[in-house]
Amino acid sequence: MLSRQVVKVLSRQAASAKNLYGLSSQIISRSYQAPRATAPLEGLRVLDMSRVLSGPYATMILGDYGADIIKIERPGLGDDTRAFGPPFCEDQSVYFMSINRNKRSVCIDFKNKKGAELIKRLAERSDVLIENFMPGKLAEMGLGYEDIKAVAPGIVYCSVTGYGQSGPYANRGGYDVTAAAIGGLMHITGEPQGDPCRVGVAVTDITTGLYAHGAIMAALFEKQRTGQGRYIDCSLLASQVAVLSHLAGNYLNSNVEATRIGAGHSSIVPYQAFKSKDGYIIVVGANNGQFKALCKKMNMEHLLEDERFKTNGLRVKNREILVPILQECLLKENTEHWLKLFDNAGFPFGSINSMSQVFEDPQVKHLGMVQEIPHPTVGSLKLAGPAVAFDGTTDMKKALPPPLLGEHTKEVLQEILHYEEGYINDLEEHKVISCMN
């Protein structure tokens, strides 16, 4: 917590900063609460030059929190994910729509010099720019960090790449699956005797998006104090290695190589999926108290007297003995029986749900995780909603549907750059921009 003296100093600095980047100029700390807008980031503008998943996921979060996200797309083609499918809803990719709500689509050919100038003009009026081009590619067009900083000194400029800005892999195309492979995730995912597996969603991409979102927020907070922007370098590979967590620690400090262990845990037993009579259930006994509660509920108290299972370390050592014993018991009843029996039992457990079961789960429903948004061509669009609630609600603003390609080109150029319609038409005629007809 900041001291009162520091808070007073920072508050005076912020009050004199004259709204440095469009947000409230108050310094927020636990000891000081400024009046908040409808959404925490209302007034923040983000120029989003990213595409596919990691960058768009980061900007969707910022958009959910109230930022104005200007999504720059290629005329005629747009974000790559507009073509990812099936499935499609009408003519719209479900993949694209799932990660691009709360954004406005502007089509600019920034390989064209006039288009590059448009990007600079928009950057001058933005607080954040995020991009995920190959290292040096935007600099070749006059849109690298130094170029943008020259016209927008306070910009927070975030680059997302596969492998970083330099090094032996810097010029490789970065995809989730390749970074997951090189970064060790696929090696540790799958059954012990099976092949390496990718995780069911592009978790390395999403993790990088979360890191980028957090770094942008940190840079914006710093900017409240200093008025200075930042250059942020995020990569899929660095993000993936960073989240190896205890498995990285095991190797780096104890030279213990991680291996595939299916749905189990290398350092905790039991902590895995078990078959029931009609499906699967996750059961966790992460400490002696939880293991004791589990054994009592399963009517297997005799395991508590077995010297082989007295501690978690011994249970890990004797995994091949204990797990089959538990499995034999759990196979005798269906999943629903165990879920009811284990309720409030003092240890973690849960069913392994299909997509249909996820969205029928009572807790998922209680959390309001399905967001319905009216869409101009699809009708009622359902999406997995924001994960974070502020003051008890995730509905901080009226959500914008994922944009149609070029839907907001004219609107943004008129609203932000104050261009006349005739000039906009001229830009469109010369293929610098494209607008939705």
Secondary structure (DSSP) of 239-305:
HHHHTTHHHHHHHHHH-------TTS-SS-SSEEEEE-SSSEEEEE--SHHHHHHHHHHTT-GGGGG
Query: Cis ω on the peptide bond leading into residue 35 (within 30° of 0)?
Result: no
CA 331/CA 338 separation, integer angstroms: 10
CA 222/CA 216 separation, integer angstroms: 10
Answer for the pair 246, 256: CB distance below 8 angstroms, yes or no.
no
DSSP-derived letter for residue 330 is: H
The torsion angle over the Cα atoms of residues 423, 425, 430 and 434, rounded to 10 degrees, is 120
Residue 29 forms beta bridges with which residues?
32
CB half-sphere exposure, 390, CA atoms < 13 A? 13
- Concerning whether 91 is annotated as a catalytic residue, the answer is no
CA 34/CA 40 separation, integer angstroms: 11
Residue pointed to by tokens 């508050």: 11
Give the residue among 21, 78, 18 at the shortest CA–CA distance from 46. Answer: 21
Answer for the pair 196, 187: CB distance below 8 angstroms, yes or no.
yes
CA 249/CA 284 separation, integer angstroms: 22
CA 413/CA 72 separation, integer angstroms: 12
What are the DSSP E strand ranges found in 135-206? 156-161
CA 69/CA 63 separation, integer angstroms: 6
CA 245/CA 330 separation, integer angstroms: 31
Residue pointed to by tokens 């980028």: 212
Residue of 64, 68, 79, 205 with catalytic role? 205
Answer for the pair 50, 59: CB distance below 8 angstroms, yes or no.
yes
Q: Which H or E run contains 72?
A: strand 68-73
CA 316/CA 287 separation, integer angstroms: 12
What are the DSSP E strand ranges found in 322-413? 349-351, 370-375, 379-384
Catalytic site residues? Answer: 205
